[in-house]
């Protein structure tokens, strides 16, 4: 994700020749503080938004169930989608920023692992809303939220498949696939970030749709509605703050490459 390869690659060279040194760009106090701040803040927010959604669903939307109670089955949808598209994907993106001293192939594998764990969450989240809508005889793929969600899921799957083949399978022929992998890095990174923001946009639209739906519920007291409104607004705001922090965290520096980074490993 971060641009370490800033010179030309010595094609066909030995492994030890594949790095560049630049002691000027070593870690200073400022970058350590920023690193720590991002680690702490992003962990709090990524876990916090999941806990907040769980709290909202458990205490204000009646908890969970599977097929026997469709309304409660629907409640799995926000939890699983936030877990898959925001918490797991957010950590997966931040891994490139957080694991600075780990060998790059391990960073890639952890990145893939987090996204792979997100897949069953997303699939179950999709199934829960689909089943619940069918049981309640609601129309599927009608609202803007559902269409945005469809685009988000499609892009996520595309990114996963392309990323898996380009950055892991293609490593079996490291030298020959260098230029292809190199060209794919910025595309995969920028579309990944776009997909993350798309997931956030989809989540906030979903929250607003649900909030407007519950606002019509005559069984809810005005006080409870107000508290629920504050909880859902807090979830929405946390989501966009996460988006801003992740975008900021994975920005690429203008400075030259840092010390001893293996060029081919980085892509």
Please choose, out of 55-63, 64-72, 127-135, 206-214, the segment that lies near a second copy by the rule CB under 8 A: 206-214
Location of structure tokens 């923001």? 197
Of 137 and 230, the one with the shorter C-beta distance to a second copy is 230
Locate 264 and state its tokens: 């081919």
Surface-to-core class of residue 203, CB atoms within 10 Å of its CB (0-12 exposed, 13-18 middle, 19+ buried): buried
**For a second copy, which residue of 37, 40, 158, 255 counts as binding (CB under 8 A)?**
255
3-state secondary structure of 262: strand
Sequence-ordered list of residues with C-beta below 8 angstroms from that of 173, at least 6 positions apart, any chain:
none
Query: Using the rule CB under 8 A, which residue among 53, 57, 145, 159 binds a second copy?
Result: 145
To which H or E segment does residue 261 belong?
Answer: strand 261-262
Q: Which of residues 208-227 bind a second copy (CB under 8 A)?
A: 208-209, 211-212
Sole binder of a second copy in the list 6, 37, 51, 71 (CB under 8 A): 6
Residue 212 CB, nearest approach to a second copy (Å): 4
Of 124, 107, 114, 63, which is closest to residue 87 (Cα–Cα)? 114
Q: Report if residue 250 touches a second copy, rule: CB under 8 A.
A: yes
Residue 74 or 124: the one with the smaller Cβ distance to a second copy is 74
**CA-to-CA distance for 72 and 74, rounded, in angstroms?**
5
The single residue listed with the structure tokens 């022929």 is 173
Report the interface residues with a second copy, using CB under 8 A.
3, 5-8, 24, 142-145, 147-148, 151, 155, 182-183, 185-187, 189-191, 193-194, 197-198, 200-201, 204-205, 207-209, 211-212, 229, 232-233, 236-237, 240, 243-244, 247-248, 250-256, 267
């Amino acid at each position: 994700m971060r641009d370490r390869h800033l010179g030309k690659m010595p094609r066909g060279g030995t492994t030890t020749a594949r790095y560049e040194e630049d002691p000027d760009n070593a870690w200073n106090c400022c970058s350590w503080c920023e690193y720590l701040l991002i680690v702490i803040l992003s962990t709090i927010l990524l876990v916090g938004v999941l806990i907040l959604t769980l709290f909202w669903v458990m205490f204000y939307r009646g908890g969970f169930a599977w097929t026997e109670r469709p309304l409660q089955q629907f409640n799995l949808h926000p939890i699983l989608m936030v877990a898959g598209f925001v918490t797991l994907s957010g950590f997966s993106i931040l891994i490139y920023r957080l694991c600075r001293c780990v060998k790059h192939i391990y960073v890639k594998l952890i990145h893939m692992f987090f996204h792979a764990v997100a897949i069953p969450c997303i699939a179950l989240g999709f199934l829960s809303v689909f089943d619940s809508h069918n049981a309640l005889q609601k129309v599927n793929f009608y609202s803007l939220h559902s269409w945005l969600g469809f685009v988000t899921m499609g892009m996520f799957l595309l990114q996963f498949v392309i990323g898996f083949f380009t950055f892991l399978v293609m490593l079996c022929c490291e030298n020959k696939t260098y230029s292809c992998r190199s060209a794919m890095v910025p595309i995969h990174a920028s579309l990944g970030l776009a997909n993350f923001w798309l997931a956030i946009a989809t989540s906030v639209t979903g929250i607003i749709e649900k909030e407007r739906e519950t606002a019509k519920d005559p069984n809810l007291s005005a006080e409870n509605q107000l508290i629920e409104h504050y909880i859902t607004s807090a979830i929405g705001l946390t989501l966009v703050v996460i988006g801003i922090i992740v975008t900021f965290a994975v920005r690429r520096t203008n400075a030259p490459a840092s010390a001893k980074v293996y060029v081919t490993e980085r892509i």
